[in-house]
Each structure stands twice: as C-alpha cells, then as structure tokens.
C-alpha cells in the first residue's frame, strides 16, 4: 500500500474548485485528479456537489475545498513555480494571468484569486552570485519587472 505526502496544501475555493482544478490541469503537464468527494446528506442544499478534490500538478499533491466565499485567497500564500527558461516563464505567465492580474517581481493572481510566483532558475542563480555588486544589479532590475525577463536580468548582471 502506498501513501501520499504527509503534508498537502489545501486551497479553499468559492464553490469553483472543480473549474480551478481543471484549469490548472490544462496548464501543468503530468497532472491528474486523484480523488473527489461530494457533499452528502449533512448539507442537503449542496448534496452531490464537489466538496473536495485531491489532485496532482507535476508531481505535487494538492487538495481543493469548495468552502464558499468566507475565506478568499491573499498574497500571504502563493504557489512558486521553478521555470527552466524564459519560454516556460512566458507560457505560464500568459496562461495563469489570463482573467487574473499581474503584479511585480514575477507575481500574479490567477482568475480564481490564487497568487503565483513564476520564477526562472536563472534569477536565483544570478541573485546568489558571490559578487554582491552583480547580485545587487540583478535585484534592482528584478524589482522593476512584472513578468521576469531573463535577458534583462543578464544585462543587469553584466553591467549593461
């Protein structure tokens, strides 16, 4: 018998969890629904509707809860995506921000209000450079961006 991870993030949705999960599964490859539970007799008005969904996005397990409007998402919690290159940043930024809103420094909110950080690996590498002058230039460049632009980061790193 296999068991899942001990800690699974649970995302509270305003009765649109199924739509959100299907949306995310259309964006992230290698994703699947693992389990669906439905409201029962204890909540007659919601009986038969989705209560929770356990799902996997690219190897990371999540739970979605249809809990209603009481607790909306805030930026206090975000999902950070490690992107291999600019093409992946561009694709995820475009698809996740559609119907949502763009912010600064690689952050966006999707159409469900969930915050995401779309971050290229190059950003972390450049920020961790032992040459603090170069790392500072990269940080200053990043602070002016919405979607992270790796070429602009590299220009800042190089002092151009």
- The mean pLDDT value of the chain amounts to 96
Half-sphere exposure of 131 (CA within 13 A, CB side): 9
Decide if domain 73-160 falls under CATH 3.30.1340.30: no
Same-fold call for 7-71 versus 73-160: yes
pLDDT in tens, 6-41: 899 999 999 999 999 999 999 998 999 999 999 999
- Report the interhelical angle of 150-158 vs 132-142 (nearest 10°): 140
For residue 35, give the 3-state DSSP assignment: strand
Token pair of 132 as six digits: 């603090």
Strands 115-120 and 107-109: antiparallel
Half-sphere exposure of 60 (CA within 13 A, CB side): 13
Each domain of the chain, given as residue ranges in start order, spans 7-71, 73-160
- Report the interhelical angle of 86-97 vs 150-158 (nearest 10°): 130
The structure tokens 């992946």 sit at 88
Report the topology of domain 7-71. 2,3-Dihydroxybiphenyl 1,2-Dioxygenase; domain 1 (3.10.180)
pLDDT, averaged in runs of 10, over the chain (160 residues): 79 98 96 97 95 97 97 96 98 98 98 98 97 97 98 96
Token pair of 91 as six digits: 């694709």
């Amino acid at each position: 018998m296999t068991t899942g991870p001990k800690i699974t993030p649970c995302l509270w949705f305003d009765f649109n969890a199924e739509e959100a999960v299907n949306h995310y599964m259309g964006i992230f490859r290698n994703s699947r629904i693992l389990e669906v539970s439905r409201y029962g007799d204890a909540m007659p008005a919601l009986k038969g509707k989705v209560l929770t969904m356990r799902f996997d996005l690219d190897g990371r397990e999540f739970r979605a809860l249809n809990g209603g409007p009481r607790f909306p998402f805030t930026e206090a919690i975000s999902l950070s995506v490690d992107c291999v290159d600019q093409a992946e940043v561009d694709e995820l930024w475009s698809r996740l921000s559609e119907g949502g809103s763009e912010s600064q420094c690689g952050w966006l909110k999707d159409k469900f209000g969930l915050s995401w950080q779309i971050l290229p690996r190059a950003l972390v590498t450049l920020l961790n450079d032992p040459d603090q002058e170069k790392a500072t230039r990269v940080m200053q460049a990043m602070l002016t961006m919405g979607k992270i632009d790796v070429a602009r980061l590299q220009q800042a790193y190089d002092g151009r």
